[in-house]
Amino acid sequence: MELAEALASNETTSCEIVTALMERIAEIDAPGSEIELRSVLTLAPDAITSAKRCDEERFQGLLRSALHGVPILVKDNIEAVGLPGSAGSTALLGRPVPHDAPLVSRLRDAGLVVLGATNLSQWANMRSPFSTSGWSAVGGLTLNPYRLDRCAGGSSAGSGAALAARLAPLAIGTETDGSITCPASLNGVVGIKPAVGTVPGEGIVPISSSQDSAGPMARTVRDVAALYGVLTGGGDTEERVSRGTDGARIAVATNMTTGHPATDRLFLDAVGKARGAGWSTSEVSVHEADASVDADELTVLLSEMCDDLSAFLNRRGGEGPATLAQCIDFENQHRDVELPFFGHEFFDQSLASGGRAGEKYHDARARNVAWAVDECLSPALRDVDCYIAPCYSPAWKNDLILGGSGSARWSQVTQAPAIAGWPIATVPMGVVDGLPVGLSIVGRPGSEATLLAVAAGFEGLLDLERSDTLMPTFIRPQNG
């Protein structure tokens, strides 16, 4: 909102802001630059033109929203005219996006300037159990701006890293299970995955219609709330956020820990400050998943992806794979580009699942929802508005050779809301050895404004942004 206020007071222009951000991206982010952060996959060819148009409209007093003229980055699994919409795969390159996804239309209608597309974990990280988060065949590996050998999270890695590196004030991510939460935590930014269906999902490369959702990301809760209002068509989100935690009943999920001692201590410190400030808090034990829950969720994701990704590829048009089976063949034929570090085991399993018509899907989905809603979320939220927990340990080291998440530690805070399609917000709670960690807030569908209000309360209580605690240092790879 600082940029929006600067634009409103005529201290600067949208064109000046967009030009400066493009120069910074060229300086530290692009291939061949000083750092090669690789968070921005490509710039929008019409960004300067759009910024000039916004400046002209502002001069004429034609403001479309409070974010008029503010630049934004869009994750590259979201279709936006002029951007690749590649999901990180060369299978979609050269196949022009025919029209904006509805959420992108909402951004443009509100006067935001689409600056470019962010890199991501290819196919939103649903391709292999051995994948390295933040890597795609199109964009390479996104680095963490705090330490360049560390993970930027997945799958919205580029959105999180670009925000932390001050390459844009706003970004859009998507989450199926953890893909906004993780990069928000690892990069020290704010994000919310709204309840499924709150933000239009058309025009987004799909994994799961029951779990996918796009959501706003930014460096402050205030900015996320403003962008959330644009994405959802308004409401009282900003007004509710401005009231902070007033009246909110918050439960602390005492059993949800990351297993990383310093991260969990930081969470308890944040809880202690909240109680010291007089917040209404209680404690709750949230039912955790076992291997059967994990297996059911994987069955659901693989089955839904089998149907939905094929349908998306067919609708996209242009030359290239039009089904999941053809996409697998394409990757096998271009394995030196598409599969240099890990395979596409999940694609193979998805194709073999038979989709929603497969014999395992419906029972798995029913069990999954019953576990998430009846055993976890409803009991945990019975007498409160939300519950909180730490989400991820500090960013782990990238490893393209061995893949996977290495020494990563995380709580189970994302899984139940992901399966149920309920909202989850994440806000920074501090740093551990110079690396950010976040706190997540879970609530019922329709409670997004309350979740952001609680996030704003922690943001004010911890005062990390103002103290420059969350300023990236771009430390080069090191031992240890």
pLDDT, tens only, 108-158: 999 999 999 999 999 999 999 999 999 999 999 999 999 999 999 999 999
pLDDT, tens only, 85-105: 999 999 999 999 999 999 999
Given a cut of 90, is residue 426 above it in pLDDT? yes
Where does residue 403 fall: left (phi above 0), alpha (psi -120 to 50 degrees), or beta otherwise?
left
Give 241-255 as a DSSP string. Answer: HHTTTTT-EEEEETT
Given a cut of 90, is residue 468 above it in pLDDT? no
- Angle, to 10 degrees, between the axis of helix 345-353 and the axis of helix 324-333? 150
* Strand, coil or helix: 217: strand
Q: Which of 39, 128, 156, 179 is catalytic?
A: 179
C-alpha torsion sign, points 346, 347, 351, 352: negative
- Mean pLDDT value of segment 12-27: 98
Radius of gyration of the chain (CA): 21
For residues 403-418, one letter each, b for 16 or more C-beta atoms within 10 angstroms of the residue's C-beta and e for the rest, the string is bebeebbbbbbbbbbb
| Residue with tokens 């962008």, as numbered in its chain | 227
| Best CATH choice for the domain 2-280+389-462 from the list 3.20.20.70, 3.40.50.720, 3.30.565.10, 3.90.1300.10 | 3.90.1300.10
Q: Give residue 240's identity as a one-letter amino acid code.
A: R
The whole-number pLDDT of residue 155 equals 98
DSSP element (H, E) containing 215: strand 213-218
Given a cut of 70, is residue 420 above it in pLDDT? yes
Q: For this structure, is 193 an active site residue?
A: no
- Mean pLDDT value of segment 52-66: 96
The whole-number pLDDT of residue 480 equals 64
The whole-number pLDDT of residue 233 equals 86
Given a cut of 90, is residue 211 above it in pLDDT? yes
The whole-number pLDDT of residue 246 equals 83
Q: Give residue 132's identity as a one-letter amino acid code.
A: T
How remote is the C-alpha of 118 from its chain's centroid? 11
C-alpha torsion sign, points 16, 20, 25, 26: positive
Given a cut of 90, is residue 1 above it in pLDDT? no
Q: Which of 39, 65, 75, 213 is catalytic?
A: 75
User: How far apart are the C-alpha atoms of 372 and 87, rounded to whole Å?
Assistant: 28
Q: For this structure, is 52 an active site residue?
A: no
The whole-number pLDDT of residue 465 equals 77
pLDDT, tens only, 180-209: 999 999 999 999 999 999 999 999 999 999
DSSP element (H, E) containing 426: strand 424-432
C-alpha torsion sign, points 451, 453, 459, 462: negative
| Strand extents, DSSP E, 60-157 | 71-75, 113-118, 135-136, 140-141
User: How far apart are the C-alpha atoms of 380 and 389, rounded to whole Å?
Assistant: 12
The whole-number pLDDT of residue 165 equals 98
Contact residues for 3 (Cβ-Cβ < 8 A; gap 6+): 12, 17, 70, 169
Tell me the CA distances in angstroms from 89 to 86, 98, 125, 135, 137, one per residue in order.
5, 18, 12, 10, 6
Nearest to 430 by CA among 285, 277, 272: 272
Q: For this structure, is 242 an active site residue?
A: no
Q: Give residue 331's identity as a one-letter amino acid code.
A: E
DSSP element (H, E) containing 170: strand 170-175
pTM score, whole prediction = 0.98
The whole-number pLDDT of residue 419 equals 98
Q: Which of 136, 155, 156, 393 is catalytic?
A: 155
User: How far apart are the C-alpha atoms of 164 and 80, rounded to whole Å?
Assistant: 23
Alpha helices in 233-386 (DSSP H): 237-242, 261-276, 291-316, 324-333, 335-338, 345-353, 361-369, 378-380
User: How far apart are the C-alpha atoms of 22 and 32, rounded to whole Å?
Assistant: 15
* Strand, coil or helix: 380: helix
Given a cut of 80, is residue 234 above it in pLDDT? no
CA angle 427, 429, 430 (to 5 degrees): 130
Residue 59 · residue 177 · CB < 8 Å: no
Given a cut of 80, is residue 479 above it in pLDDT? no
Residue 346 in tokens: 């999940």
Band of pLDDT at residue 311, cut at 50, 70 and 90 = very high
Band of pLDDT at residue 467, cut at 50, 70 and 90 = confident
Mean pLDDT value across the chain: 96
Given a cut of 90, is residue 238 above it in pLDDT? no
Band of pLDDT at residue 402, cut at 50, 70 and 90 = confident
Q: What percent of the chain has pLDDT over 90?
A: 91
